[in-house]
Structure 1
Amino acid sequence: MFKNYFKIAWRNIWRHRGFSFLNISGLAIGMTAGFLVLLYVNFELSYDEMHEKGDRIYRVVADIDTPSEKIEANMAAWPVGPNLQREFPEIIAATRVLTAELPVQRGSLKFVEPLAVAVDSTFFEIFDFQLLEGDKDEVLTNPNSLVLSETTAKKYFGEEDPMGKTLKIQDQGIAAKVTGIMKDIPENSHIQADLLISMITITQPPNDYDVQWGNYGPSIYILTSKGTSAESLQSKFPAFLEEKTGDGMREDKMFVSLFLEPLNEVYLHSTRGGAITGSMSNVYIFSIIGLFILLIAAINFINLTTARSVERAKEVGIRKVVGAEKNQLVLQFMGESIIICLIAFVLTVGLTTLSLPYFNTLAGKTVSSGIFSNPENIAYLLLLALGIGLVAGIYPAIVLSSFRPLRVLKGQFASGNKGILLRKGLVITQFTISIALIIGTIVIYNQMQFMRNQELGFDKSQTIILDTDSSLILEPLKNEISLLRGVISTSFGSSVPGAGNNAAYSEIENINGDMQVANLDLYFVDDAYIPQFNFKVVAGRAFSKDFASDSTQAMIINEKAVQLLGYNNPEGAIGAKYDQWGSKGQIIGVVQDFHFRSLQEEIKPLTMRMDRNATNLLVIKAHPQNLKQTLASIENTWNTIVPGEPFNYYFMDEFFDRQYRTEERFGNLFLNFALLAIFISCLGLLGLTAYSTIQRKREIGIRKVIGASVSSIVNLLSKEFIKLVAIAFLIATPIAWYAMHNWLEDFAYRIEINWFVFVLAGLMAILIAIVTVSFQAIKAAIANPVKSLRTE
């Protein structure tokens, strides 16, 4: 019996190849999109799950209350980690993790490693990153000890065994010994490192980081013993801080609270940020989109199958006359549904294999190296196909098996009102989703354009940044580069907009004459920095060579800092005293606020001071003409002054725009899935149009005989579907507005959702529907009426 069912199903699919292609391709595209979303969501949720003791690992973070603000830091003071491990027996181990760029050299090979990470010797005790060579208890115990990733080891040593060999590190060329080799850290870890260096290399004398309770730098992680309550442990921290640094907190007027973040919440759930962070809201959004696309694919299957129910009505009638039971017919049609889904499954495997590299590029990470890399992927996909086949095949099977043989054999079959309402409801559902996605795509695009084109308050065009890693070579380098043709100006800086800043403990005189304590962002610059970036001075003056005291006793602040200090206008802050990191002086100028961070964050108070020894960046303003030649000249100058050192540079505008790379990837993924959803919805609409055309073919024939034009028939068949799209638009508009309004809340500077966005989305949906419906409607309108009327 089952063999016979299979033959009938296959013959039916092959006889109506075009229709079957639409059905199978719609399912395959829907399942491919849904499966890619599943891979993405699983990858995001898998961050930091490779650690066996992950449920007992916590990140220690701090809230810092000052008279001016509350700082929610993703780190803690340098001494916190070692002292927590000593003071609390429930803490088995603690490690500090500090990421920085590190110059590394072996012979003629010289690189600046961007993912060099200083860690304590307990690092491998806490985390289960695989150590291929070396003893995990010994590899990081001595100063200048290095653990290299497999890739980094091959970069410097090729096929040689690196163990015991040395590399030169830092600008001074200090000899560091390779004590271990670790497997490359998986991409789904929020801690990333190509090279580990022992923390004692940094904290050993004469450095005194281990007693600097007011100095924040590394992230701190702890491993607790089994059964330890994080809440109970956390409740002991206030007494711990009071004992260690209570007097210091009161003196500095900076009161610290420590908290524990579970490791598995750091990447997706923490609001404190970090070097690598994800977005749980994006995971939710893509999960919903994936489910919607699968829903649309299932709806298509129902519509396209019931659209052919008229053609199969007589087949069902004959089968019932010769004794077929309803349950046998249900089984047959369910079997056909599953066969179609299994064919779609095979096609989905091929589509996913082809599209996965492109999807990884869109996501900006290797979500999956291949569909066959994990056997569970195939199993999930097969279950998905079978599930869709069963769920989506239930309604068509019941409808087809319920035909009354006497009526259908007399040609009196007609679909009931419930069936028509269901099919229309399904199309409304499809286009509600599609219109909502169109609105979302337009809003995301507009927000991205707004962020790219927003007035930033400074000039970043044709600006080249050289990272010298040292202030010693800046002066001769600047002097030589300034003389090059194509170079407009040069300046020094410790940072540039879009990069990280020093957070400096500051005391500044406020409007009441009190020395107000605050933790403020700090740029070290020279006298050419402000005019080079075209920052607008709104009060006082910029730094100048004409005033010798500017290099030691002068500060410039932005308008946000003026507001923080309580002054009614920028002029009021001029002359205010400051005490910052051991430097004392007065404010000489105020610059207009500019965006030195992403537009997702509000502009913060900023201070600027001159200190040649604290700067390591050379900022070069170049003519737009012959930029390649100018770059070549700069590189030649670099190689002359700093021979053998790698020439590292970047353009300011590209660097600043990197801040929005995550949002751009989100937007691109959203757009691609929206297009897929719209395409699959069009297939569903095509199916309903085909169904309606079959139902009304005799009416169309009669109208043509009595003189109806092609355009009038197309209009007749199209208008009811346009109504469905209009209803979908009314439903989708408030839903999309609410969803995108919430998404925009994550941006400190954002667009307003204009009414035109909804009008545009509605017009696009109607146009798409008209084009889709017209294809089938025109085909019916130009058909020979004799064929449709010959049975009358």
Structure 2
Amino acid sequence: MIKNYFKIAWRSLLKNKAMFGINILGLAIGIASCLVISLFVVDELSYDRFNENADRIVRVTLKAKLGDENIRESSVMAPVGSTLEREFSEVLSSTRLKNTFNVQKVNTGTKKIRSGKMAQVDPNFFDIFTLKFLKGNAKTALENPAGLVLSSSLANTYFGKEDAYGKTLELEGFGIYTVSGIIEDVPQNSHFQFDMFSSLANNEEAKSQSWMSGSFHTYLLLDKNTSSEALEKKLPVIAKKYMGSEVKAGFGMSFDEFLSKGNSIGLFLQPLTKIHLSSNFTNPDLSAGGDIKTVYMFGAIALFMLLIACINFMNLSTAGASKRLKEIGMRKVLGSAKKQLVVQFLAESFLVTLVAMVLGVAMVFVALPYFNDLSGKSLDWQLIVKPLNILLFIVLTLFISLLAGAYPAFFMSSFKPLASLKNRFSSGGNKGIRSGLVVFQFSVSVALILATLVVGQQMDYINKKDMGYQRDNLIVMRHAGLLGSNLNVYKEQLLSDPKIKSITMSAFIPAGPTDDGMELITTSAASMEKLRTRSYSIDEAYIPTLGMTVEKGRNFSSDFSTENQHVILNQTAVKTFGLKGEPVGQMIYKQTKEGSVPLTVIGVVKDFHARSLHEPIEPMIMQYNPYYGLILKTNTADLKSLLSSMQQKWEAFGTGEAFEYAFMDQLFNETYVKEANMNTVLRYFALLTIFIACLGLYGLITFTTERRFKEIGIRKSLGSTVPQIVALLSKDFLKLIGISLLVAFPVGYYVMSIWLQDFEYRINMQWWYFAIAGVSTVVIALFTISFRSIKAANMDPVESLRAE
């Protein structure tokens, strides 16, 4: 019996190959899009969930407000973890991680190699985080301060096929270690990516009892009956108890008085599973996180694309019901029950979905590498062929079959035999549902087009905005300091090349990863109001090399031996410090452990964006301190020759260090890579969404012309022109497109307003964004309708009038 259902279903589908093809193509694209985006969403949501106690691990973070500055830091002071463990029974254990930042240079005894990112951690780190040991013991691997845990990949890099366990190696700047453990590589869906771990026992800062400075990522393992929200409510008491005396010493006021002036400082808890998608810190985190808003948006796109594809199937099936009225009537007359007809039509739905699912999965295999390039992911097609996912595909096929086929099945099986045999039925309610579904399809399409326009315009704004510095023709050598004492010699060699206009020595870069300096500044020696201020260490060539503008005063100069006692401010610093009158010549004071250091303001530089446009321009001081990195201003188009010459000079020093460089404009673009990827992905899926919607529209107009076949012939016989007939067939659909615009515009405006709020500097949505989204949708829909309508209007009326 079941075999018979599918045999009849297949024959029925083949009777109308055009509609069968439209359904297959639309569903396949919808399924493929949904699967690809779902892989992205699942990967983003899976971060850190591989840890056995992921739901019980939290990270302690710091938030403070000092005057106008809002501080959000993912790392805290050294004693925080042990204190919370001691103060609260809900905290079962705590552990810390300190990022050493640089790639390590290692001497294995047989070779020297710079490879591997190291973190210093407490010995119990592997008790809290689930990282699988291949060699060694997780509980004892770091009990010895000279122990070192390597990832399997890094162990292979250092020692090849030899067993690395127990081997000795030397880390430049850290000392000699023995490999006490080998672990599997840290999973890609972890918020930290390190391939070697050493003990914090060798770090003197880890023993500090200061509650005002520190950079330790601190994690707590909570009791299973404790919520992070409940524990967090108790933390203000800890802040006052342990920070109070240091606030008194640093700011000259009690903790309560400090708070009464509008300041705040405290500890907060961040669930481990939310770190990747919900981090927004002013200090560099362990890795570039994702964005929960992007996940929500992409998840909605995946759902909508699948729904639109299913809506096409429902619309085309119900619209085509009129062609099967006699078939349904005959089946009922010959004894078919409604249940049997429902099963028959569901069998057709299942066959269409099955074919579409196979085709959709094939599309995923083809599209996944391209999607990885767009999204910056490394999603693997093998995820699709896992047994659990294959089972999921089977369930999804059945679900889509029911979702897309249930309404048409019950609708068509409900026709009365007599009306069916007379080829008559009322489609009023069904037509209303179809119209609503068309409105939904195009509302989603218009909203996506609008989103693509807004994101594209914001990216264009970012690329064209005056950042306060020039980023063209600049080569950045962030790690030039690896040359050590040869750095100045290398700089002079480069300056002798006519292809290089100027060079500045500084590791402070206004785009991409950079050294991050902060100073406590007061405006008078006696003032206790300290302002945390960003600081750049530069030389006299920095400002002209980057094309910055000195608004007042002068730049640094090597002609003066006392430049380290001077400072240049940005315009925002002048306002924040409240410097009245002429700022040049006034004094500010840098607070150090040794006391207050006076600095004379010699210049004011025009504000520039030292960080991304997500953040406001902060007060900044520039100090004379040539440091570590090099930034080169070039005046040649022959970069290949220049870079080759630079590399030869670098390698001539024989340090064994790799020659590395980046272009400033490239670093700038990398700052907004998430937004750029989102812009590209949105563009593609907007096109796919409207393509699927137009497939459905084409199918509907095809059925409409077939149902009004004789009417079209009569109208042509009575003198109607082709444009009049096209207008007749188009007007109802264009009304639905108009309604979809009215729905999509406010929804799109609301969603994109929320997205733009993440930028401190952003565009204002203009009326023409909506005009372009609306007009482009109407034009595409009109073209789709006209393509089929014109063909129908041009048919010989004699053929339509004599057709049964």
Tell me the TM-score normalized by structure 1: 0.93
Kindly provide the CA deviation profile for residues 539-594 of structure 1, in whole angstroms up to 9, marking residues without a partner as x. Answer: 222111222111x211112112112112356x336412212445432222211110
What is the identity, as a one-letter code, of the residue corresponding to 1:741?
S
SS at match of 1:356: helix
- Distance in structure 2 (CA, Å) of the matches to 1:580 and 1:157: 47
1:41-60 superposed matches below 5 A:
41-60=41-60
What is the identity, as a one-letter code, of the residue corresponding to 2:386?
N
Aligned to 1:623: 635
Aligned to 1:316: 328
How far residue 46 of structure 1 moved from its aligned partner, in angstroms, is 1.4
Asked whether the 8 Å contact 2:114–2:657 carries over to 1, the reply is no
What is the identity, as a one-letter code, of the residue corresponding to 2:340?
Q
What is the identity, as a one-letter code, of the residue corresponding to 2:266?
S
How far residue 369 of structure 1 moved from its aligned partner, in angstroms, is 4.3
Aligned to 2:742: 730
Asked whether the 8 Å contact 1:505–1:517 carries over to 2, the reply is no
| Cα distance, 1:541–1:418 mapped onto 2, change above 3 Å | same
Q: Does 1:590 align with 2:604?
A: yes
Asked whether the 8 Å contact 1:39–1:368 carries over to 2, the reply is no
SS at match of 2:288: coil
How far residue 86 of structure 1 moved from its aligned partner, in angstroms, is 5.9
1:54-133 superposed matches below 5 A:
54-67=54-67, 69-85=69-85, 90-106=91-107, 112-113=114-115, 115-133=117-135
Aligned to 1:219: 217
| Cα distance, 1:745–1:66 mapped onto 2, change above 3 Å | closer
- Distance in structure 2 (CA, Å) of the matches to 1:485 and 1:764: 52
How far residue 88 of structure 1 moved from its aligned partner, in angstroms, is 5.6
Per mean C-alpha deviation after superposition, the further-off stretch among 211-220 and 487-496 is 211-220
Aligned to 1:786: 798
What is the identity, as a one-letter code, of the residue corresponding to 1:663?
E
- Distance in structure 1 (CA, Å) of the matches to 2:411 and 2:800: 24
- Distance in structure 1 (CA, Å) of the matches to 2:70 and 2:661: 36
SS at match of 2:76: coil
Aligned to 2:464: 453
Aligned to 2:731: 719
Per mean C-alpha deviation after superposition, the further-off stretch among 313-322 and 210-219 is 210-219
| Cα distance, 1:588–1:448 mapped onto 2, change above 3 Å | same
| Cα distance, 1:113–1:456 mapped onto 2, change above 3 Å | farther
Kindly provide the CA deviation profile for residues 207-263 of structure 1, in whole angstroms up to 9, marking residues without a partner as x. Answer: 676345433323111223444564665566556556655433222128742222221
SS at match of 1:587: strand
Q: Does 1:578 align with 2:589?
A: yes
- Distance in structure 1 (CA, Å) of the matches to 2:413 and 2:241: 80
- Distance in structure 1 (CA, Å) of the matches to 2:381 and 2:472: 38
How far residue 334 of structure 1 moved from its aligned partner, in angstroms, is 2.0
How far residue 138 of structure 1 moved from its aligned partner, in angstroms, is 2.9
Asked whether the 8 Å contact 1:504–1:580 carries over to 2, the reply is no
1:521 to 534, 538, 556: 534
Per mean C-alpha deviation after superposition, the further-off stretch among 658-667 and 131-140 is 131-140
Kindly provide the CA deviation profile for residues 691-730 of structure 1, in whole angstroms up to 9, marking residues without a partner as x. Answer: 2111111011223334444444333322332222122112
Aligned to 1:430: 441
| Cα-Cα RMSD | 2.6
Unaligned runs of 5+ residues in structure 1 are none
What is the identity, as a one-letter code, of the residue corresponding to 1:121?
P
Q: Does 1:604 align with 2:618?
A: yes
Aligned to 2:254: none
| Cα distance, 1:63–1:672 mapped onto 2, change above 3 Å | same
Kindly provide the CA deviation profile for residues 357-411 of structure 1, in whole angstroms up to 9, marking residues without a partner as x. Answer: 3223322123444244532222222222212211221222233223333344344
How far residue 164 of structure 1 moved from its aligned partner, in angstroms, is 2.4
Asked whether the 8 Å contact 1:105–1:169 carries over to 2, the reply is yes
Q: Does 1:490 align with 2:488?
A: no
How far residue 513 of structure 1 moved from its aligned partner, in angstroms, is 8.0
- Distance in structure 1 (CA, Å) of the matches to 2:233 and 2:733: 63
Per mean C-alpha deviation after superposition, the further-off stretch among 781-790 and 490-499 is 781-790
Aligned to 1:35: 35
Per mean C-alpha deviation after superposition, the further-off stretch among 172-181 and 387-396 is 172-181
1:549-698 superposed matches below 5 A:
549-550=562-563, 552-567=564-579, 571-572=582-583, 574-581=585-592, 583-612=597-626, 615-698=627-710
Per mean C-alpha deviation after superposition, the further-off stretch among 530-539 and 207-216 is 207-216
What is the identity, as a one-letter code, of the residue corresponding to 2:189?
N
SS at match of 2:632: strand
| Cα distance, 1:468–1:140 mapped onto 2, change above 3 Å | farther
Asked whether the 8 Å contact 2:568–2:604 carries over to 1, the reply is yes
Kindly provide the CA deviation profile for residues 440-467 of structure 1, in whole angstroms up to 9, marking residues without a partner as x. Answer: 1111111111112211100111111111
Per mean C-alpha deviation after superposition, the further-off stretch among 427-436 and 770-779 is 770-779
Per mean C-alpha deviation after superposition, the further-off stretch among 207-216 and 692-701 is 207-216
| Cα distance, 1:681–1:558 mapped onto 2, change above 3 Å | same
2:343 to 308, 312, 331: 331
SS at match of 1:641: coil
Asked whether the 8 Å contact 1:306–1:691 carries over to 2, the reply is no
Aligned to 1:358: 370
The alignment of Structure 1 onto Structure 2 pairs a total of residues equal to 782
- Distance in structure 2 (CA, Å) of the matches to 1:574 and 1:618: 30
What is the identity, as a one-letter code, of the residue corresponding to 2:537?
F
Asked whether the 8 Å contact 1:310–1:694 carries over to 2, the reply is no
Kindly provide the CA deviation profile for residues 734-780 of structure 1, in whole angstroms up to 9, marking residues without a partner as x. Answer: 11111111111111111111100111111110111012112221332
Q: Does 1:252 align with 2:263?
A: no
Per mean C-alpha deviation after superposition, the further-off stretch among 79-88 and 61-70 is 79-88
State the identity as a percent: 38
How far residue 330 of structure 1 moved from its aligned partner, in angstroms, is 2.1
| Cα distance, 1:45–1:106 mapped onto 2, change above 3 Å | same
Asked whether the 8 Å contact 1:32–1:348 carries over to 2, the reply is yes
Q: Does 1:261 align with 2:270?
A: yes
Kindly provide the CA deviation profile for residues 651-694 of structure 1, in whole angstroms up to 9, marking residues without a partner as x. Answer: 11111211101111222222222222111101110121012111
| Cα distance, 1:479–1:246 mapped onto 2, change above 3 Å | same
SS at match of 1:177: strand
Asked whether the 8 Å contact 2:136–2:182 carries over to 1, the reply is yes
- Distance in structure 2 (CA, Å) of the matches to 1:430 and 1:374: 32
How far residue 609 of structure 1 moved from its aligned partner, in angstroms, is 0.8
Aligned to 1:396: 408
What is the identity, as a one-letter code, of the residue corresponding to 1:268?
L
Asked whether the 8 Å contact 1:522–1:608 carries over to 2, the reply is yes
- Distance in structure 1 (CA, Å) of the matches to 2:153 and 2:272: 26
- Distance in structure 1 (CA, Å) of the matches to 2:146 and 2:782: 70
Per mean C-alpha deviation after superposition, the further-off stretch among 705-714 and 628-637 is 705-714
What is the identity, as a one-letter code, of the residue corresponding to 1:474?
L
How far residue 54 of structure 1 moved from its aligned partner, in angstroms, is 1.9
| Cα distance, 1:229–1:23 mapped onto 2, change above 3 Å | closer
Aligned to 1:195: 196
| Cα distance, 1:530–1:78 mapped onto 2, change above 3 Å | farther
Per mean C-alpha deviation after superposition, the further-off stretch among 478-487 and 145-154 is 145-154
Kindly provide the CA deviation profile for residues 334-357 of structure 1, in whole angstroms up to 9, marking residues without a partner as x. Answer: 221122222222222222222223
- Distance in structure 1 (CA, Å) of the matches to 2:758 and 2:71: 18
- Distance in structure 2 (CA, Å) of the matches to 1:390 and 1:4: 20
SS at match of 2:652: helix
What is the identity, as a one-letter code, of the residue corresponding to 2:267?
L
Asked whether the 8 Å contact 1:184–1:194 carries over to 2, the reply is yes
Asked whether the 8 Å contact 1:51–1:127 carries over to 2, the reply is yes
SS at match of 1:217: coil
Unaligned runs of 5+ residues in structure 2 are 252-257, 259-263
Asked whether the 8 Å contact 1:352–1:371 carries over to 2, the reply is no
| Cα distance, 1:339–1:185 mapped onto 2, change above 3 Å | same
Asked whether the 8 Å contact 1:567–1:573 carries over to 2, the reply is no
Tell me the TM-score normalized by structure 2: 0.92
1:294-305 superposed matches below 5 A:
294-305=306-317
